[in-house]
Structure 1
Amino acid sequence: MLVRRLVAPALAVLLAVAPAAACSRSDPAPRVVPAPSSAEIPEPRVLAISVDGLRPDVVERLGPEGTPTLHRLLAEGAGTLNARTARQRTETLPDHTTQLTGRRVDAARGGHGVTWNEHRPGSTVRRAAGGPVRSVLSEVHRGGGEVALFVAKQKLTLFQRSWPRAVDRFVLEADPPRLVRRAGRDLARQDRAFTFVHLPDPDAAGHTHGFGSTAYDDAVREADRLVGRLLARVESEPRLASSVRVVLTSDHGGTGLRHDDARRAVNYTVPFVVWGPGVAAGDLYDLNPDYRDPGDGRPGYGRARQPVRNGDLANLSLDLLGLGPVPGSQMNDEQDLDVAAS
């Protein structure tokens, strides 16, 4: 597991004994560093961030001046601006369900079955799939960890209904700055293993003014600022800075006022970046030769070398936490997406 790879070097240093060089009787005896207690090695934590409707080409165009936080994550972490959504859908609810389950959409082919993109009271992923579906939320709960979800859209209450026992805290807050403040406080006060934060600004601006419009650019800048506030909270305390890994992606891009055509590259291309202690710096495809940069393409799930997908979030997060993959998942189900620094 990745956690073991991250912790092992630290243990080796802490357990090191002074060199056994010959010394005179007057020399002090070599000092043995005592083994660290469990309290000195913080439990790993994951902060997953989904920036709704974030177009990678706009992040590139705005550059480090317009999106300094996202560019910092890309420079210091393992990332790509050429990841893919679920192949069948480029919409908020289906793709967020893919992020949390690691499954494709089509229920007839083992997918989660969430094909709609509006709030449906009483709906659950189990009903959509026609049977039980596990998720990163259920697996963290089974592993003894706590889960918190902070979302800005009512339709994402689907996840609280679908895995009620696994969600220790659920916050629906339409105001993004307030949502981030509440998430930041929870990060500092609680030792949640998995925290999920959904930021809606780019999607809202895209639907109202157009994806790629001036208003959309401003919304991307604001989302970058809010991600920066979450990072600042993480870095404000050594306990958080040494334990929290960030996984950031998006559910879709967009063009004009829409993003529902899953055949358009501007809709199915998303960022995916991992950042934190023990995470390598570099391009995700360079770090993972078993994965293939798809260029402008839209490869299916049968390809031997898959692109990085936003659905990799579920099993990568579990790997970072030292837990096994989501049963029934189809993306990164062998947890072979490697982000560990060598």
Structure 2
Amino acid sequence: MGIPTRHRLRPFGVAVATLTLVAASGCAGDSGDPRPDETAVASAHRPAEHPARVVLISVDGLNPTAITKLGRAGTPNLHRLLREGSGTLNARTLVERTITLPNHTGMLTGRRVDARHGGHGVTVNHDPGTTVHRYAGERVASIFDVVDDAGRSTALYASKEKFAFFKRSWPTSIDRYVWRTSNAKLIRKVRAGLTSSPAALTFVHLSAPDVAGHAHGFLTPRYLDAVKHVDRLLGTLIRTVRGDAGLRTSTAIVVTADHGGPRNDKLHSVRTLRANYRVPVLAWGPGIEPGNLYALNPAFKNPGTGRPGYGGKQPIRNGMVANLALSLLGLGPVPGSTLDKAQRLRVG
């Protein structure tokens, strides 16, 4: 199935909103949400109704247990996002899969997996050389399309080669595509883009925890070192935003993950394991209210240790960040999305 050419490339650097979505892992107790430190909220800004930029960051394979295990000393920047922003360490993946490509497709489209029920249809975890549209059996809109249609700019920074699947699926809606295996080099590119020509929507994928988990086992010392490495990279990104007068009052950061990973295991494909299906969702920046996301959003239900399906009152899911990011930018939901299409999930 081909892709209708209905989007034109926009000039990069339009002054608009950036959301950062970063995946984090770890919880205190079954609810997974440590109480925020109320003394740290003084740094929150409350300028415009909507931030001008959103940076959406996914930390591949970030098990929330790593965040609580390492503590504030080991992951100071993830803890800062949790303390100063809206967040939970007890969000959920998509029900059907706990692997990378299906969950990232959900983050970009706001859809579940099963195409028979309005999902995006992507079940594979490699670049198949085709498009999301072919798996769904119809054209699937993305967050890049919505931002591009609003006349704003977009960027996708990936640390795995298979993310070319997304550039191929939405070629004219992604204004800038950068692939670097090194997470450190990738973040340098992200920082350069933010300070020279910031996009309205920047999606960043960081792979280090997942790579370490597959090589050495999740929650092992080598895996925890990778989480600390990513936390330091997030710190450089936060300092970039805080150190630039133009970015400081106009850039929101959202953090999530595609899946976790079981202790001392190298695989995360068993979708019924809590270590695999529990992920963080964090939001930080101007106008974002500090607090627990479930407490701030009674329309959603903290699932405890459970793994609820798509019926009934929903937990917060990583796939909901698509419409959350667009809401932060003052834009409507992704057409055809099924995860929080009403944009009820609020962070400020």
TM over 0.5, shorter chain? yes
Cα deviation for residue 315 of structure 1 reads 0.3
Correspondence for 2:172: 165
Please, which of 59, 64, 74 is the counterpart of residue 66 of structure 1? 74
**Residue in 1 aligned with 2:272?**
263
Following superposition, the deviation at residue 10 of structure 1 comes to 5.1
Output the CA distance in 2 between the equivalents of 1:281 and 1:321: 19
Deviation string 1:44-92 (CA, Å, 9 cap, x unpaired) is: 1100110000000111111000000000000000000000000000000
- Write the distance in 1 (CA, Å) between the matches of 2:206 and 2:302: 26
Cα contact 2:51–2:249 (8 A) shared by 1: no
> Match of 1:181?
188
SS of the equivalent of 2:94 reads coil
SS at match of 1:197: strand
- Cα distance, 1:191 vs. partner? 3.0
Query: Hey, what does 1:243 align to over in structure 2?
Result: 250
For residues 135 and 279 of structure 1, the distance between their equivalents in structure 2, rounded to whole angstroms, comes to: 24
2:286 equivalent among 267, 273, 277: 277
Q: Is the 8 A contact 2:56 2:254 kept in 1?
A: yes
Percent identity, aligned pairs only, is: 50
Match of 1:83 among 83, 86, 91: 91
- Partner Cα separation in structure 2 for residue 133 and residue 119 of structure 1: 17
Q: Are 1:99 and 2:114 counterparts?
A: no
Q: CA deviation at 1:118?
A: 1.0
Report whether the alignment pairs 1:143 with 2:172: no
Aligned to 2:307: 298
Conserved in 1, the CA contact under 8 Å of 2:93 and 2:259?
A: yes
Partner Cα separation in structure 1 for residue 47 and residue 168 of structure 2: 40
Cα shift at 1:119 = 2.1
SS of the residue 1:171 aligns to: strand
Q: Which residue of the partner structure matches residue 193 of structure 1? A: 200
Structure 2 residue aligned with 1:328, among 328, 331, 336? 336
Cα distance change of structure 1 residues 307 and 42 upon mapping to structure 2, 3 Å threshold: closer
- Whether the aligned pair in 2 keeps the contact of 1:42 and 1:239 (CA below 8 Å) is no
Deviation, structure 1 residue 120? 1.9
Post-superposition offset of 1:42: 9.2
Output one character per residue of 1:304-334: Cα deviation in whole Å (capped at 9) or x when no partner: x211100011000000001000111111110
Deviation at 1:229, TM superposition (A): 1.0
The one-letter code of the counterpart of 1:68 is: P
Distance in structure 1 (CA, Å) of the matches to 2:83 and 2:295: 14
Q: Secondary structure at the match of 1:82?
A: strand
1:197-236 correspondence runs (5 A) = 197-236=204-243
- Normalised TM-score (structure 2): 0.85
The match for 1:254 is 261
Paired positions, count: 302
Mark the runs of 5 or more structure 1 residues left unpaired by the alignment: 4-8, 12-40
Structure showing greater Rg: 1
RMSD of aligned residue pairs (Cα, Å): 1.4
Greater length-normalized contact order (CA 8 Å, ≥ 6 residues apart): 2
Could you tell me which residue of structure 1 aligns to residue 31 of structure 2?
none
Q: Deviations over 1:105-138 (max 9, x none)?
A: 01111100110001222x1000010001001111
Question: Residues 126 and 162 of structure 2 are in contact (CA less than 8 Å); yes or no, is this contact kept in structure 1?
Answer: yes
Q: Which moved more, 1:65-74 or 1:226-235?
A: 226-235
The DSSP-based 3-state class of the residue aligned with 1:223 is helix
| Counterparts of 2:246 and 2:57, CA distance in 1 | 20
Shift of 1:236: 1.1
1:47/1:244 contact within 8 Å kept? yes
Letter in 2 for 1:258: L
The residue that corresponds to 1:6 in the other structure is none
Please, which of 295, 299, 318 is the counterpart of residue 310 of structure 1?
318
| Alpha carbons of structure 1 residues 139 and 127: separation in structure 2 relative to 1, 3 Å | same
Q: Any conservation in 2 of the 1:59–1:67 contact (CA below 8 Å)?
A: yes
State whether residues 115 and 136 of structure 2, in contact with CA within 8 Å, keep that contact through their aligned partners in structure 1: yes
CA distance, structure 2, for counterparts of residue 177 and residue 73 of structure 1? 20
CA contact (8 A) 2:47 2:249 kept: no
Provide structure 2 residue ranges, at least 5 long, that are not aligned to the other structure: 1-16, 18-45
